[in-house]
A and B are shown apart, each in its own frame.
Chain A
Amino acid sequence: MSWWRTPTARRYLFGYTLLAPAVLYVGLLVGVPFLFSLYLAMSDASVGSPVARFVGIENFASALENAVFYTALRNTIVFTVGAGILKGLLGTTLAFLLLQPFKGRKVIRALVVIPFTLPIAVSVLGWKWMFDSQFSVINWALSRLSLIGTYGSPDWPVWLGQPGLALLSVMFVNVWRGFPFSAIVLLAGLTSVPPEILDAAKVDGASFLQRFRKVIVPMIAPILFIGSAFDTVFTLSDLSIVYLLTNGGPDGATEILPTLAYNTGIRGGALGRGAAISLFLFPLLLPAIILLLRTLRRRQY
């Protein structure tokens, strides 16, 4: 009997046949484009001309010579790190609150996760209206509380029109959208710690802090890593908040790498330069991806 007629060989053949469509689709439309973006980044491809010339690292070099690139890079990092810390703090607080047994827990949980479940373009439009330069409901309330001046006075904040405030505003919307996700991921981790283990540690005389450090943290660490890795990837690569609220303005104050890549590559038609800018995101993404990969693999075996 030849080897390919054995049940094992037939099972393998059957299995890889079932896998083929998914692997091919993802390979052709993620793997190949990813490699293609490396090639594009080293060419002078543009929307108008289909024939592209190889230009080596010229696109990367010209990005590095551009002052706007550094602003975008700095904003991307400030945005991701700042929003990440806030989401972590708020998410942890919310998770511990939701961990308590209380009446109406399910309803409150469902309401508090709304920001994460709304399609992103939809909720950003709502924020754009709330940040309106003249009819902002936030300003109306602050003004009535006498925390800010009246419309037209120098104490009237124009959220999306003043450089410092604009960056804070786009970060705030990212935090608003992301904190429920952090909380729910953490909650899933916390509820996966069996109470018996905590009781056992308590009986052994461990203080709350010790139980937290020695039992809770190691047990929920993997799930936390995965949650924050996901969040980092989505925050780093999301363009819709900035694009819809400020499109990088005022005067580049909220420019981030995704908006710069989009405006250069698609709007400006310089595909090669746009691809090069978006690839600068990759080294920033890599730590999150490696962390995730290691966590996933360690738990598999």
Chain B
Amino acid sequence: MATLVVPAPRSQRHKELRRHLLVYAGLTPFLVIAVFPIFWMAITAIKQDADLYLVDAVPFWFRQAPTWKNFDFLFHNTSYGAWIVNTMLISFWVSAITILTAVPAGYALARLRLPFAENLGIGIFMTYLVPAIILFIPLARVVSTLDLQDSWWALVVVYPTFTIPFCTWLLMGFFKTVPFEIEEAAMVDGCGQFGALLRVVLPVSWPGIITAIIFSFTLSMQDFLYSLAFVSISEEKPVPLGVATELIRGDIYFWGSLMAGALLVGVPVAIVYNLFLDKFITGITGAAIK
């Protein structure tokens, strides 16, 4: 077939160009809708207050000099610094709990040919779908029994209810791709099953484990309901809750600082999530593609 095609570079290039233009034209509205809110938040964050409320001039650029004072306000007049520390500590402990439980579980489900392994795996994954809105009231009782209300430790206890199911499933898929031979070789060399896991399988599995840590972080950052229900003391709040509740005083919205505080944490999370998005999609649809 290919030999019969007469090369027609010029018209072909035109066709390519037209196709590109069509695709770009189709994508433009999507891009504008997706990106404009971020642009608007960013520009709001560094505008002066008075600049926000000038209704006559075009609002898409600065009418007055840009300023960092909204960021100053966050760090000097609110507990923003504490919220960042809380968020990091929560994410750290949630990741630790998740890795310590999901790595062994994912490994056992993927490689030890256990009876009921598939059903158990699906069962654990299904718990990811029991939504927070059904669990938050009984968990409020659990939190108060543990005497953790109004402490960010409550969130450390609760977030693994969704990170463990997700990461177990993700790691199960990951461990299935590690060749069986390397484990068998290690066991022939005198390692026990546990020794093989520790010395041979884990060292080659770090990409999967890093991915699981990333998702423990980003999924923890996506929560709003649990923090809203369990933490009401300002100093104990994580960033999303703190920004959403402490920068609105009655009817007064500190829009500049609100946007500054939201983006300062939102943008890094979005970037990391973006880089790992394909792994997230594989994580939840993996079984359907295989």
Q: Which residues of A contact B (CB under 8 A)?
A: 10-12, 14-16, 18-19, 21-23, 25-26, 29-34, 36-37, 40, 90, 93-94, 97-98, 100, 102-103, 108, 110-130, 132, 134-135, 137, 140, 151, 176, 179-180, 184-185, 188-189, 192, 222-223, 225-227, 229-230, 233-234, 236-240, 243-244, 257-258, 261-262, 265-266, 271, 274-275, 278-279, 281-282, 285, 288-289, 292-293, 295-297, 299-301
Contacts and interface: CB of A to CB of B under 8 A. Distances in A.
Nearest to B158: A29
A236 to B, nearest CB: 7
Interface in B136-183: 136-142, 157-158, 160-161, 164-165, 168
A37 B138 contact: yes
B101 A25 contact: yes
Contact of A25 (B112, B142, B160): B160
A107 to B, nearest CB: 10
Nearest to A265: B137
Interface residues of B, number: 100
Contact of A293 (B126, B157, B278): B126
Contact of A281 (B26, B134, B273): B134
A184 to B, nearest CB: 6
A19 to B, nearest CB: 5
A237 B135 CA distance: 11
Contacts of B114: 11-12, 15-16, 19
Interface of B: 19-20, 23-24, 26-27, 30-31, 33-35, 37-38, 40-41, 44, 52-53, 55, 59-60, 97, 100-102, 104-105, 107-109, 112-115, 117-118, 120, 122, 124-127, 129-142, 157-158, 160-161, 164-165, 168, 193-194, 218, 221-222, 224-225, 228-229, 240-241, 243-244, 253, 255, 258-259, 262-263, 265-267, 269-271, 273-274, 277-278, 281-282, 284-285, 287-290
B24 A102 contact: yes
A93 to B, nearest CB: 7
A34 B164 contact: no
Nearest to B229: A266
Top-5 shortest CB links A-B: A237-B131, A22-B105, A18-B104, A122-B266, A33-B138
Nearest to B54: A135
A234 B219 CA distance: 13
A27 to B, nearest CB: 9
Given A126-B262, A129-B259, A188-B281, A108 B104 contact: no
B288 to A, nearest CB: 4
B31 A126 contact: no
A184 B277 contact: yes
A132 B195 CA distance: 60
A233 B131 contact: yes
Contact of A110 (B117, B138, B263, B274): B274
B26 A122 contact: no
B84 to A, nearest CB: 13
Contacts of B113: 11
B103 to A, nearest CB: 9
A282 B38 CA distance: 35
A168 to B, nearest CB: 15
A34 B41 contact: no
A111 B35 CA distance: 7
Nearest to A258: B133
Contact of B124 (A22, A93, A108): A22
A201 to B, nearest CB: 17
Contacts of A236: 131
A81 B178 CA distance: 41
A266 B231 CA distance: 12
Contacts of A192: 289
Contacts of B44: 129
A175 to B, nearest CB: 9
Given A111-B34, A222-B288, A223-B289, A117 B270 contact: yes
Contacts of A262: 133, 136, 225, 228-229
A26 B165 contact: yes
A184 B103 CA distance: 27
Nearest to B97: A25
A127 B157 CA distance: 31
